[in-house]
Structure 1
Amino acid sequence: MTEPVALVGAGPGGAGLLTLAGREAIAHAQVLAYDSLVSPDILALAPEGASRIPVTRRSDPDAVRQEDIVPILAQKAKAGFRVVRLKGGDPFLYGRGYEEKAAMEALDVPVEVIPGLTAALAVPACAGIPVTCGDLSGSVHILSGSPRTGKTLELDYEALVRVGGTLVFLMAMENLEAICAGLLAVGLPPDTPASLVENGALLTQRRVNATAETLPRAAREAAVKEPAVLVLGEVCGL
């Protein structure tokens, strides 16, 4: 009998922000395939005898590439193993979770989706930034700062500035300077408060504050690295 694969969102940081449903699925996993940003204390929740499979989008001789993981997990599920596919944050928000779900279902493997707390909302909160707040911001807009492989980053900067509210970018460090320059070029005030939160929801979390104009320099001086969440808007000034 084919067991359903549990597609689990691990949340933004440690096990304390993992959902109860996610914890339960991991605790009963026989096969655990996990992305590189998943916290070690979440991986430790799996049974000692569970098979652990690291998954990566990059070249890593010790990990399975993301495009190769679906057939492996489908085979395990059809053999009757309880399989968990563990992704950072929420699997359906820039996690390619739906693509993997559709690919497994095409192989006649059912999938149970267990959502996770997205870093786009949780990391700013952990750093003391409310993404909406009274008259300062009535909306929040979540974007990826990293293009799909082989593509260039294309954003409608004019629309983002026109609509207002808080902008939250995931995976934006590589294109931080271009994002800030693009927003400024279409009218975002240079003194708009901006923040980067590195290692959000972890003990090593730190927040770098600046403005839309000065943030790229502040990030270089502070040597900010991924994973980091970029937030722009008046709420960063609170």
Structure 2
Amino acid sequence: MKLVWSPEIAAKAFTDTVKSCELLEGSSVAELISAMAAGWNAKLIVETWSHGGITTTSIGLSVASMHTCGKHVCIAPDEDSKAEYIGAMKKAGMSPEVIVGEPEEAVKGMVIDFLVVDSGKNNLGRIIKEAKFGDRGAVVVCKNATLKTEDFQLGSLFDGGSRRIVRSVFLPVGKGLDIAHVAAGEIGSGSGIVKKSRWIREVDKQSGEEFVIRKYNVL
């Protein structure tokens, strides 16, 4: 099965997130991620969060889960972070499930459709290694991507592994979003073998923003 994009649900989640995050810092990122999660009809949405983090993205993910009739789970590193997160989300009228622990351990046993991690605070490579994605494929979003080394790309975590990336893109929104679409199935399991990849750079003529997309050729 493949992920099927629903523009109607994405638009509704975007609009509702705008209303929920009005006048809150970082809402532009929240609205975009909410629309993506809803548009992909994600049933299990997982995010990482720690003390001092911005909760607008979390609000957006909760909004998305409501539109997809899915589940939103937050992984917090300790009890203090959990309490802070729950308090902030209650003010927004939302109550996602919160798990305390290291993300790379907490994701074990979950079948994730949409994963959001913070590159500035999490060991992204270990989380990706332990995460299990559904047979529809999945979307992985890395926040604060500009805090990573210049030559790092989210798609590189999958190079040579059992799973392949259909495409990945860096968006200059907030402190940078690195986004990857993980293909359904595994390499060699009948879904194709990656032969080579190439980077494509495009510039939005109206906004001037530059988009970098990695395209893979498969058999």
* TM-score, shorter chain, exceeding 0.5: no
Of structures 1 and 2, the one scoring higher in RCO (CA 8 A, sep 6+) is 1
Provide the TM-score with structure 2 as the length reference: 0.34
Greater share of strand: 2
TM-score (normalizing by structure 1): 0.32
